């Protein structure tokens, strides 16, 4: 029996969402050590970096699940993306990048029947 490799079975939408978020996560992680940006982060709030790392890590777990095509990942992206967006409004700097987990959950929800059960 000839089976196709798993990377051919992954929908392009999931690949796009995960690629964009993994790039965003990597850039944020690299910018933590930049002295110019740390000063800006501190001006936003004293706990900004810690809170962003916590929120982004929960979203990262959701994206790992989405990459592995698990159903629980959509629920986790909804549950972790909502406070991630709200935190942007709380600190007074909402960004489009904060909405990525919610956008991914909403646009990937039609793929629910294709996704694997836990």
User: Which pLDDT tens digit goes with each residue over 27-58?
Assistant: 888 887 777 776 777 677 778 888 888 999 99
Chain segment 49-83, per-residue pLDDT in tens: 888 889 999 999 999 999 999 999 999 999 999 99
Domain ranges of the chain: 11-34+42-111
Residue 88's pLDDT band (cuts 50, 70, 90)? confident
Q: What pLDDT is recorded for position 2?
A: 57
State the pLDDT at residue 28.
Answer: 85
- What's the whole-model pTM score? 0.84
Q: Residue 58 in contact with residue 102, Cβ under 8 Å?
A: no
Cα–Cα distance between 79 and 73 in angstroms, integer? 10
């Amino acid at each position: 029996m000839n089976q196709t490799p798993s990377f051919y079975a992954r929908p392009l939408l999931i690949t796009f969402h995960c690629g964009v978020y993994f790039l965003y996560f990597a850039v944020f992680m690299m910018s933590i050590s930049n002295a110019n940006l740390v000063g800006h982060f501190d001006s936003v709030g004293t706990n900004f970096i810690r809170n962003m790392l916590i929120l982004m890590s929960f979203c990262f777990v959701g994206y790992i699940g989405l990459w592995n095509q698990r159903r629980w990942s959509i629920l986790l992206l909804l549950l972790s993306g909502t406070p991630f967006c709200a935190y942007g409004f709380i600190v007074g700097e909402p960004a489009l990048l904060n909405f990525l987990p919610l956008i991914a959950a909403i646009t990937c929800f039609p793929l629910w029947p294709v996704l694997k059960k836990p």
